[in-house]
């Protein structure tokens, strides 16, 4: 009887107790010579099983775990434990390399600092730098910059003064001329301007989502560009880019200070998101979705934590109002080096404006402020339109609203166009005018003719425009929040200095009330307001600013 063909098998099994084995030839197992065909009936599976049982090592357990569908918990823990020490070594090595790299960068920057501070006669001069990417904007923050520079130049005339700016479309002399034209400020000594090409990194239009995070990270890159061009001895962030503070302090080796006009994030912003209220920084589609509101709230809390860390790097912190002070203390937690320094207002310049109202018919209402979204100019126009629609307004002479402000960029210009369209939609375009980037003398003329000064920004950090209106003799109507409520429009010796409102209806009613008052009553309020704002003068600012930053120059 002939032998049957042998089927191919994948593994060779060999019984140690069997004198006759199977040997592989090609892909087939063949019967050894001199054996009988009944050997082909031997089962190989028990041999395979015994072999696995004889190897109880990790490979066997892994096969068993795989057969059961996955690793058991103890195997996972053992696996991760085996990776712990190698991972720790790798992380430690990377940290050491990072420290070495950062230390090398710091040494290079220190060499650059020494070369920059050495004058032509070989003496070392202190370099004082201000980080103000929009120094040519013409707002209240820019007035702080120029007054701070003027005060420091008086006390430290031998120092070198630097301004980091992103206004690359103008030169340094044009910037200085603009400061004189808008604020009537002329510096005593020259200033070096370091022009930054990457200012677009801090534009809010670049980050339609996660704007706070995007602008903050962008400010770090912009700060790096500034630091690599000039390494100062004293660095002052005068525009609120707190994320640049650790960069200049730890890499640049600078003494750092900050003047905070408005915290990047505040507890009020957290409450707006938490309560799902719609605002210019909280879109309606987020307020309607509970999940998105929770995600944004977590994002805000994390950002606030990091914002507090970078802000605490500042050696000196100056804030412009009680409202800003409360928020900075809760976020940065550096109360021992935080001071209130009210921003400088050119009160003296407006004192020559007569307080008596002109005999010309009609009333002029003015608004002073940059055309930024948070200024809430639409509220001024809608409230003014509501005033004109009231029956009481029909008995009043002609009314005109003039919105005066600066445009920083194309976004601000587009915003002005939108405001013009809004006035047309409401049918008040004949009664509303826009004055953009006007000279200081023209601003002063408008204030001298105005009856009411309007301010509508919610939680305005301070409000230089509010102070200027009060000093010029206009009756101020400001938003019932922030600096105007806590620091500016407060009673003077128990007497009223102005009015506060919140809603469109509230503004319209208060404007109607002011216009219906007697001339004598309005004059009394004007006198009280002018007397109360003397604490916001340029002279007061210089004294408090210099005493606050003295620590940076020791």
Q: Which residues contact 476 (CB under 8 A, 6 or more apart)?
A: 452, 453, 455, 466, 469, 470, 484, 489, 497, 498, 499, 529
| pLDDT of the residue at 392 | 60
Task: Write the pLDDT tens digit of every residue in 243-277.
Answer: 999 999 999 999 999 999 989 988 778 777 776 66
pLDDT of residue 70 exceeding 70, the answer is: no
Residue 522 clears pLDDT 90, i.e. is over it: yes
Q: What is the pLDDT of residues 11-41, one digit of tens each?
A: 444 444 444 344 444 443 444 444 444 444 4
Q: What is the pLDDT of residue 283?
A: 62
Between residues 403 and 105, the one the model is more confident about: 403
User: What's the chain's average pLDDT?
Assistant: 83
More confident position, 337 or 183: 337
Dist. CA 57–CA 484, nearest whole Å = 77
- The whole-angstrom separation of Cα 248 and Cα 250 is 6
Q: Domains of the chain by range and CATH?
A: 126-344+541-552 (3.40.50.2000), 347-536 (3.40.50.2000)
pLDDT score for 249: 94
Tell me the pLDDT tens digit for each residue of 440-466: 889 999 999 999 999 999 888 888 889
Residue 131: what pLDDT? 98
Q: What is the pLDDT of residue 183?
A: 85
Q: Residue 231: is its pLDDT beyond 90? A: yes
Residue 297 vs residues 274, 337, 509: alpha-carbon distances, Å? 6, 30, 36
In tens, the pLDDT along 489-507 reads 999 999 999 999 999 999 9
Residue 171: name the closest of 135, 144, 198, 201 by CA.
Answer: 135
Mean pLDDT of the 405-411 span: 85
The Cα-based distances of 518 to 183, 495, 521, 523, 524 in angstroms read 33, 17, 5, 9, 10
Range 390-399, long-range pairs (CB < 8 A, 24+ positions): 390/508, 390/512, 392/512, 392/516, 393/512, 396/363, 396/515, 396/516, 397/361, 397/362, 397/363, 398/361, 398/362, 398/363, 398/431, 399/362, 399/363, 399/365, 399/431, 399/515
Tell whether the model's pLDDT for residue 374 goes beyond 70. yes
Interior angle at CA 14, CA 10 and CA 17, nearest 5: 165
The candidate with the shortest Cα–Cα distance to 393, out of 506, 503, 513, is 513
Averaged over 321-349, what is the pLDDT? 91
- Ranking 62-71, 131-140, 398-407 by mean pLDDT, the lowest is 62-71
Between 41 and 553, the higher pLDDT residue: 553
**pTM given for the model:** 0.70
Helix ranges, 251-376 (H): 267-274, 284-287, 290-311, 322-331, 347-350
At 279, is the pLDDT very low, low, confident or very high (cuts 50, 70, 90)? low
| Residue 54 pLDDT greater than 50, yes or no | no
The yes-or-no verdict on residue 526 having pLDDT over 70 is yes
Coil vs helix vs strand at 94: helix
Residue 506, token pair as written in the block: 């509230």
pLDDT score of 383: 96
Q: What is the mean pLDDT of residues 334-358?
A: 87
- Could you tell me the pLDDT band of residue 118, with boundaries at 50, 70 and 90? low
Determine the pLDDT at residue 278.
Answer: 60
């Amino acid at each position: 009887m002939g032998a049957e063909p042998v089927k191919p098998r994948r593994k060779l099994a060999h019984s140690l107790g069997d004198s006759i084995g199977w040997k592989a030839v090609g892909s087939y197992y063949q019967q050894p010579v001199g054996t009988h065909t009944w050997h082909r009936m031997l089962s190989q599976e028990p041999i395979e099983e015994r072999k696995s049982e004889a190897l109880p090592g990790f490979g066997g357990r892994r096969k068993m775990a795989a057969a059961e569908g996955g690793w058991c918990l103890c195997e996972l823990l053992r696996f991760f434990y085996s990776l712990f020490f190698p991972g720790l070594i790798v992380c430690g090595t990377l940290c050491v390399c990072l420290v070495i790299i950062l230390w090398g960068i710091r040494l290079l920057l220190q060499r650059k600092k020494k070369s920059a501070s050495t004058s032509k006669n070989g003496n070392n001069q202190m370099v004082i730098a201000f980080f103000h990417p929009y120094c040519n904007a013409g707002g209240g923050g820019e007035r702080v910059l120029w007054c701070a520079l003027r005060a420091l130049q008086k006390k430290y005339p031998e120092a070198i003064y630097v301004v980091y700016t992103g206004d690359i479309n103008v030169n340094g002399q044009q910037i200085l001329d603009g400061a004189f034209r808008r604020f009537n400020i002329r510096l005593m000594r020259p200033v070096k301007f370091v022009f930054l090409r990457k200012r677009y990194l801090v534009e809010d239009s670049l980050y339609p989502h996660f704007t706070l995070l995007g602008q903050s990270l962008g400010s770090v890159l912009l700060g790096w560009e500034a630091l690599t061009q000039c390494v100062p001895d004293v660095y002052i962030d005068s525009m609120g880019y707190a994320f640049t503070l650790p960069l200049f302090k730890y890499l640049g080796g600078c003494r750092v200070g900050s003047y905070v006009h408005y915290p990047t994030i505040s507890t009020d912003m957290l409450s707006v998101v938490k309560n799902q209220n719609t605002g210019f920084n909280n879109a309606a589609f987020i307020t309607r979705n509970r999940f998105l509101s929770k995600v944004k709230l977590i994002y805000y809390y994390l950002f606030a934590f990091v914002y507090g860390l970078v802000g605490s790097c500042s050696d000196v912190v100056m804030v412009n109002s009680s409202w800003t002070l409360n928020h900075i203390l809760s976020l940065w937690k550096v109360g021992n080096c935080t001071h209130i320094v009210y921003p400088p207002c050119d009160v003296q310049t407006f004192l020559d404006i007569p307080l008596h109202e002109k005999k010309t018919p009609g009333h002029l209402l003015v608004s002073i402020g940059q055309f930024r979204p948070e200024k809430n100019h639409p509220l001024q126009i809608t409230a003014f339109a509501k005033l004109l629609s009231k029956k009481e307004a029909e008995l009043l002479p002609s009314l005109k609203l003039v919105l005066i402000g600066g445009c920083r960029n194309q976004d601000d210009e587009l915003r002005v166009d939108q405001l013009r369209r809004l006035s047309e939609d409401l049918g008040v375009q004949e009664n509303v005018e826009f004055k953009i980037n006007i000279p200081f003398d023209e601003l002063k003329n408008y204030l001298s003719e105005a009856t009411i000064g309007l301010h509508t920004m919610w939680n305005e950090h301070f409000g230089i425009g509010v102070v200027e209106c009060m000093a010029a003799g206009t009756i101020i109507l400001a938003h019932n929040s922030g600096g105007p409520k806590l620091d500016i429009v407060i009673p003077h010796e128990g007497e009223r200095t102005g009015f506060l409102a919140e809603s469109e209806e509230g503004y319209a009613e208060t404007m109607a009330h002011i216009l219906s008052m007697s001339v004598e009553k309005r004059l009394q309020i004007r006198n009280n307001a002018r007397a109360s704002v003397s604490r916001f003068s340029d002279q007061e600012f210089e004294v408090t600013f210099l005493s606050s930053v003295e620590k940076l120059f020791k």
